[in-house]
Structures are given as C-alpha cells and as structure tokens.
Amino acid sequence: MKITEVRVIVTCPGRNFVFVKVITDSPGLYGVGEGTLAGSETIVAESLRHMSYLLIGRDPRRIEDTWHLLYRQGYWRGGPVFMAALAAVDMALWDIKGKIAGLPVYELLGGAARECVTCYTHAGGRDAVECEDSVRSIMERGFRHIRCQVGPYGGEGVIGELPPVSPGTPPTQVFEPTPYVIGAPRLFAHLRDKLGMEVELLHDVHEQLSPIEAVRLARELEPYRLFYLEDPLQPDQREAWPLLRAASATPLAIGEILTSRWECLPLFVNRWIDFIRMKPQHAGGITEMRKIMVMAEPYNVRSAFHGAADIGLVGQAASVAVQMVIPNFGIQEYTRHPEPAYEVTPGACEMRNGALYPSDRPGLGMDLDEDLAARYPYQRSFMPLVRRADGTAHVY
C-alpha cells in the first residue's frame, strides 16, 4: 500500500482551518488530519506541501516510522509550525489505519477507559452577576466544569481594544494587571457565595502576569477551590514555576502553546503542574500526545487538552480519541464551532450533557467535504497584540 497524494486544504467556514487529506493507492482509502495554527495557517500549509515530497510512495500503515522520518529528516526539528503540520499527517495516518482495521482510533490505542470525555466550557459577562447567570445557564446544559471570566478575552484587566493599524493586521488589546489581579478574586468570591462549592470552576490568566503577580493571585484564589488556574505564567518563565508552585495549593494548568515533549518534561518531573494543556493538533499528533500522557502519568499530571475555536473538529476528534484511553484523563476544553464547520468536516464527536462522545465509525470518524471547503476561502487573520495603557508592548 502506498500514499499517492497529499492534499492540503485551508478553509474558513467561520474561521480558518488547515486540513490534510492523505490519499492511498487503495481505492477509496484516505485519511483526514488537521494542523490549524491560529494566525499562522498559511505557513503550516506550506510546511505540509514540503512534507508531501517525503510522503508520496510511502506505506501509510508505518505511522511510527513516518513520524520519525518527518521529525528528523530536516535537521531543524520542532517548533509550532512544523509540529502542527506533522500532527496533521499523523492524524491522517491513524485515520487510514482505523479504516483498514474497521475500528475507531481509540480502539487501536487500547480501547475505551471511560464512556465519554468530560468537558468544560466558558462563562463570562460584564460583571460578576452576569458571569453567575452565565454559569447557571451553562450548568443547565449539563456542564459541571466551567471557566469563568469578567470582561473580554483576557479578563477584567483588558481596558480596551485599538483597531488594526491597517486592514488585515492584528488588533491591539490594552491590558493593565492591577485591575485584573484585584478583580479576579472578587469574581470567585461572588461565584462561590452564590453557587456553593460543588460546581468545578476554572480560570485562565492567558499568561498576562509577572511571577510575583501570579503568586499573589494563586494565593488569593485558594479559598475558592479552583479546579485549576490556567497559564498563570508564560511557559518560558521556567525559574519562576517553583516559586508559584510553593506559594499556594491552587492547582495549575499550562501547555496550550507547548509543542514538544522536551518542553513539558521539566514541568512533570519537578511536579510544577497538575494539568497539561497540550493536544495532538499542535504537538505532533496522536502518536506523540499518547506518549506525552504516558510521561505525565507517574507525576500525577492529568490531561486538560486545549479546545479553543482554532482546534477544528478533526483535531477535536483526535483529542477525544487519546483521552478516551489514557488513565490520567482530567478534562477537555469545549467551544461550539461555527455551524458551517460541521458541514465542511462532517462526523464530529457528539456533545451531550457537557461531554464529548466519539463516533464508532472506523478511524477518526470524520470526513472533509473539499467542494464545500473551497466555497469558504482563507481569510487573513492574526492574533491580537497586547499593550499597556501607555502603549508599551506588554512584556510578561
């Protein structure tokens, strides 16, 4: 069996996604994978086209060997763009293997260790009362884990947004740490007072704080018993992690911008974190993410796979496949995608009562409608830039 074609599809059914279709010489047999990297979609697509030269003619069943061929062939290895492209190919090869076996990918990985993958989703509002209302309506949908924030993306410290300098360039977000660090504990005091202690509440700092600010916040949030505090620091602040860890018993989650086992290993062995936010789509696919979760297991680190809107439905299916089988499952982030995304990539995992259920179809259970994808062409888009109120780039 041979790979005959690697099709790279960049499409925008509501937001940009990068998909790959790996086609074989076996009639009708192909696999679908995803390597969307928000704000850098076209670079991943080019990386995939480059990889295709190595893939044509190879046996698609040799997943492990192909992974190492792609990872090691270039001498320059790793990084978010490359690992996202590698992830897309890896997912497509697992999809093909599942189709050959007539089994869902989670069966090939060891079989279901749970019935479904429990999720959290996002509550918000202009103030604590609106956020409380938002939590209550999400609980009515069956969720028992909810991320809470007041204000726009980035929380209460975001005091404004400046328009792009020119069309198609990034918007600027204006952030001040002091109102944020004061406001976040007040929000959780209100929520615990009104909602009690049983519902699991989460909070995301979006890496906006200095180490000492993060220490203060983690301590002040301690009485409100968070499920976890997400990205209190940039991952690069490695020397600060022990300070933060020693300062409070608030559980810590990090890793949505990590792409390599070498980045997360010190976090595990030093027991600096409780949850890892990496996911197949940005960390080299199902093959590598399965290994990373095995590395995490003896250090009591559980999964909390990133599931923002730039993790498309194929990437989501890969995350669910891995988290169906690992013993150290924690939680999966969930956001509803724009409706056309469900038509471009049909077969998505079913969301029911705050949990994702994998399809029992062979492979990842997903397809890719190329004709429909072509009707939603790529739209130029970047992640926002963060500045302080006086215009200084926010270095944290």
**Which tokens in the block code for residue 158?**
């975001």
Q: How far apart are CA 146 and CA 325, in angstroms?
A: 23
| Minimum CB distance to Mg ion, residue 256 (Å) | 5
In terms of Cα–Cα distance, which of 68, 104, 99 is closest to 86? Answer: 68
Q: Is 153 a catalytic residue?
A: yes
| Minimum CB distance to Mg ion, residue 4 (Å) | 39
Q: What is the DSSP string of 274-316?
A: SEE---GGGTTHHHHHHHHHHHHGGGT-EEEE---TTS-HHHH
Please identify, using beta-carbon distances, which residue of 19 and 275 lies nearer to Mg ion.
Answer: 275
**N-terminal to C-terminal alpha carbon distance within the chain:** 50
Question: Among positive and negative, which fits the CA dihedral 14, 20, 25, 30?
Answer: negative
The CA-CA-CA angle for residues 332, 18, 52, to 5°, reads: 120
Catalytic residue among 122, 145, 206, 394: 206
CB 347: neighbour CB atoms within 10 A? 17
Q: Is 376 a catalytic residue?
A: no
Please identify, using beta-carbon distances, which residue of 220 and 333 lies nearer to Mg ion.
Answer: 333
Furthest CA-CA distance within the chain: 62
Please identify, using beta-carbon distances, which residue of 90 and 231 lies nearer to Mg ion.
Answer: 231
Distant-in-sequence, close-in-space partners of 380: CB < 8 Å, separation ≥ 6: 168
| Minimum CB distance to Mg ion, residue 259 (Å) | 15
Kindly determine how many residues on this chain lie close enough to bind Mg ion according to the rule CB under 5 A.
Answer: 1
263 sits near Mg ion (criterion: CB under 5 A) = no
| Residue ranges in 187-206 that form contacts with Mg ion under rule CB under 5 A | 204
**Three-class SS state of 246:** helix
| Minimum CB distance to Mg ion, residue 292 (Å) | 18
Q: How far apart are CA 390 and CA 376, in angstroms?
A: 39
CB 142: neighbour CB atoms within 10 A? 12
**Which tokens in the block code for residue 220?**
């002040």
Task: Considering only CA atoms, give the Rg of the chain.
Answer: 21
| Minimum CB distance to Mg ion, residue 57 (Å) | 40
| Minimum CB distance to Mg ion, residue 257 (Å) | 9
Please identify, using beta-carbon distances, which residue of 188 and 275 lies nearer to Mg ion.
Answer: 275
Please identify, using beta-carbon distances, which residue of 83 and 254 lies nearer to Mg ion.
Answer: 254
Please identify, using beta-carbon distances, which residue of 132 and 204 lies nearer to Mg ion.
Answer: 204
Catalytic residues: 153, 206
Binding region for Mg ion (CB under 5 A): 204
